[in-house]
Amino acid sequence: MAELASVKVTVYGRVQGVFFRASTRQRARDLGLTGYARNLRDREAVEVRAEGEKAQLDRLIKYLEVGPPGARVERVDIDWSEYTGNYADFGISY
């Protein structure tokens, strides 16, 4: 059985206005993950909360370290926690 986990990733840099959230949603859905992506208002950052198989979460994190074309990722903070099952899908939060 695959190990389930939850992760909060905060991505800093030029990550707003470059389709970062939409591309993250598509990548997470492709990987079978649930959670959300949202812009953080007080800084140039995007917060991603995702749950699912740890191997798939690792793949998502690798994607977040680069982002879509037009993004310039400067820093990524990662905070792992236990799987909660709180999300039905992966969406964009406003």
Cα–Cα distance for residue pair 84/74, rounded to 1 Å: 29
Residues with catalytic function: 21, 39
Residue 35 buriedness (CB in 10 A; 0-12 / 13-18 / 19+) = buried
